[in-house]
Structure 1
Amino acid sequence: MKPTTKEENLMWKMLMLPLAIAFAVPAQAELKQSVPSKVCALLADQGLKGRKWTQYGDGNAGCASDYREIGDGLPLPNNLAFYGNGQGETVYSVKLVLNYNQPGSAAASTAATKALLSASEKMAQRTLGVKLPKSIATAIDWGRAEKVSVGMGSIEVFREDWPEDKGYEIHVIMD
């Protein structure tokens, strides 16, 4: 067998590069539970059962729960919702959104935060197979941004303030 030359090695690499690029698949985190119907029902025991997995016209797909009201208040009580997001029949991420419609009420905010923490703990176990990291629990409790890699995925918390001090929302995303 004749040894290959540098030119043959270069030619081989140039031939293989376009094939490697053509068949490259973007990396996605592995959710422990990724069957859309099961993901949508993931937090039913938390009062956050998602509706049917739906294909949107833009190529994306997902499901969402109804808002779960926490306490009472005017004009609206604080509320929590669950979302599953993906494409086709593939789930890429899950998310909880807590709307603090009563930011001035310490009791209402405490109850809402406890509900978000409880749902986040269950979601971390069921989607990523991990315990909710302490830094994420602290970020949820204080309404601060944080992102942590866990296992094959990540958990992110961020806050979005609404105009005119009307309230804010906390997002907890797992992918």
Structure 2
Amino acid sequence: MKKLLLLLIAAMTATSASAEIIDPTPSNVCSLLSDSGLKGRKWVDDYGDGSSGCASDYKDIGSASGLANNLSFYVTGVSQYVMEIKLVFNYNQPSQSSSATKALLAASDKLSQRALGASLPAPVIALIKRGEHGSAKVGKGVVEVVREDWPTGKGYEVHVMMR
């Protein structure tokens, strides 16, 4: 029943989601950042909970004794409908945030151009640099930035989501 409800919701919103992402074909979206070392694995049509998607491996940015800062790429949807594209940057070494943020900005801008048809505007760039929550219309879609501080106080992550 849950899967049927998710498919119904996806079908009703698919027109608007497809209109926002330039090419919403799951296999194409999953490979948007292949040339940046963030190729999404094969699209999984159902994870068992009604959701679908693909994800890349983590890409280490910089070096560290311990866990390095890293970037990953996710695409989520339902069945064959892409709903959201997301970059997640784990700031495991917050003291090295400058080079990490540059890498996140470069990947985010490349993804925005390829997925939404436009470069990131200055307000979104500022949100990413500051690690602050906010959103803006970009090209054919919307980009939202969210920061999550870890309960340990030893790091945080920044999500750049495109719909």
Question: What TM-score bracket applies, with the shorter chain setting the length?
Answer: 0.7 to 0.9
Moved more, 150-159 or 81-90: 150-159
Q: Which ranges of structure 2 fall in alignment gaps of 5 or more residues?
A: 1-10
Normalised to the residue count of structure 2, the TM-score between the two structures is 0.87
Match of 2:84 in 1: 93
Checking the alignment, whether the CA contact within 8 Å between 1:28 and 1:92 is kept in structure 2 is: no
- Give 4+ residue runs of structure 1 displaced > 4 Å after superposition: none
Give 1:161's aligned amino acid: D
Distance in 2 (alpha carbons) for counterparts of 1:68 and 1:151: 27
Normalised to the residue count of structure 1, the TM-score between the two structures is 0.81
Q: Is the aligned partner of 1:77 residue 2:68?
A: yes
Match of 1:67 in 2: 58
Give 1:137's aligned amino acid: I
Structure 1 residue 72: Cα displacement = 1.3
Distance in 2 (alpha carbons) for counterparts of 1:128 and 1:164: 35
Distance in 2 (alpha carbons) for counterparts of 1:150 and 1:169: 22
- Aligned residue-pair number: 149
Give 2:74's aligned amino acid: Y
Q: 2:29 aligns with which of 39, 60, 64?
A: 39
Question: Which SS does the other structure have where 1:144 is aligned?
Answer: coil
Give 2:50's aligned amino acid: G
Moved more, 77-86 or 126-135: 126-135
Distance in 1 (alpha carbons) for counterparts of 2:21 and 2:41: 19
With over 3 angstroms needed to count, the CA separation of the structure-2 counterparts of 1:28 and 1:74, relative to structure 1, is: farther
Moved more, 143-152 or 69-78: 143-152
Q: Deviations over 1:75-120 (max 9, x none)?
A: 20000000001111111110000000001x2xx2111111100000
Match of 1:50 in 2: 40
Question: Which SS does the other structure have where 1:116 is aligned?
Answer: helix
Report percent identity of matched pairs. 54
Distance in 2 (alpha carbons) for counterparts of 1:128 and 1:76: 32
